Copies of this chain bind each other. A is one copy, B any other.
Amino acid sequence: MIIVLKPNQSQERVDGFVQKLTAAYDVKVNTWVGAHSTVLGLIGDTTVIDDEYIAAQEVVEAVRRVQEPYKKANRKFHPEDTVITLPGGQTIGGGSLALIAGPCSVESEEQICAVAEQVKASGAAFLRGGAFKPRTSPYAFQGMKAEGLELLSKAKKQTGLPIVTEIMSIEHLPLFENVDIIQVGARNMQNFELLKRLGHTDKPILLKRGLANTVEELLMSAEYIMAGGNEQVILCERGIRTYETMTRNTLDISAVPVIKRLSHLPVVVDPSHASGISWLIEPLAISAAAVGADGLIIEVHNDPSHALCDGAQSITPDQFDRLAQKVRRVWDTVQSL
Contact = CB atoms under 8 A, between A and B. Distances in A.
A322 to B, nearest CB: 9
Interface residues of A, number: 109
Contacts of A196: 138
B170 A2 contact: no
Contact of A247 (B57, B217, B254): B254
B254 A69 contact: no
Contact of A32 (B39, B261, B310): B39
A330 interface: yes
A224 B187 CA distance: 15
Interface stretch (A94-102, A111-119, A174-182, A288-296): A288-296
Given A136-B190, A326-B337, A56 B250 contact: no
Interface string A227-269: 1000000000000111111110011111111100100000000
Interface of A: 2, 4, 28, 30, 32, 34-37, 39, 41, 43, 47-48, 50, 52-53, 55-58, 61-62, 64, 66, 69-70, 132, 134-142, 168-172, 187-188, 190-194, 196, 210-217, 220, 223-224, 227, 240-247, 250-258, 261, 274-275, 279-280, 283-284, 286-292, 304-305, 307-312, 314, 325-326, 329-330, 333-334, 337
